[in-house]
Amino acid sequence: MKPTIAFVTGGYSGESVISYKSAITIQNNLDYDRFTVYRIDITPEGWFHPLDDGTRIPVDKNDFTLLLEGKRITFDAVLIGIHGTPGEDGKLQGYFDCLKIPYTSCDAATSALTLNKRYTVAVAAFAGVNVAKSLHLFKHIPVTPQQILDELKLPLFIKPNNGGSSIGMSKVNEAMDHLSAGKARYRIVLDADF
């Protein structure tokens, strides 16, 4: 009997766009001879298994199962294909830990830590890893381009602190390119030369 796998995609953030693009590649490379795979689309509106005709079968979040054609579908493991929340920040991992369903990716605590770039840099530096010099900018604390350049060298990268790097990342080559706190609530600026 083939293991039954839930392939989760989508998400709650703007990075869901990237999740759906990744999902195409992942689905095209799954070994359907070895696994029975059900795609689970996680959206702010709900969690669903989409059928080919457009019907969306809701996921029972009490036990992460599907009721499909009168049969209860349970999963042997979960393939997490979500960029951003809730797939990269530990939320899904904690949920699956509670249900004792194995999943791909690191555990909930590690996911929560690594989605926050500032915390990750601090922990890595404490462990002796050579990390890029960085600044943590806050929207409510104005910083001038010169203050950034007093600390870091060009080129540098600007990334959202609490999000993946697939959306909102900028490479800055010249002093006036995007050197401000920008629209994001928190941003981390990384020296490209380390």
> Domain 116-191 - what CATH class?
alpha beta
The tens digit of pLDDT for each residue in 36-73 reads: 999 999 999 999 999 999 999 999 999 999 999 999 99
Contact 38, 56 (CB under 8 A): no
CATH 3.40.50.20 given to domain 4-113: yes
Residue 176: the pLDDT is 63
pLDDT at 190 over 90: no
Per-residue tokens: 177: 């390119």
- Burial of 85-98, coded b for 16+ CB within 10 Å and e otherwise, reads bbbbbbbbbbbbee
Residue 165: the pLDDT is 62
Residue 158: the pLDDT is 80
- Burial of 68-83, coded b for 16+ CB within 10 Å and e otherwise, reads eeeeebebeebbbbbb
Domain residue limits, the chain: 4-113, 116-191
- The dihedrals phi and psi of 16, each to the nearest 5 degrees, come to -60, -30
Region 101-128 average pLDDT: 91
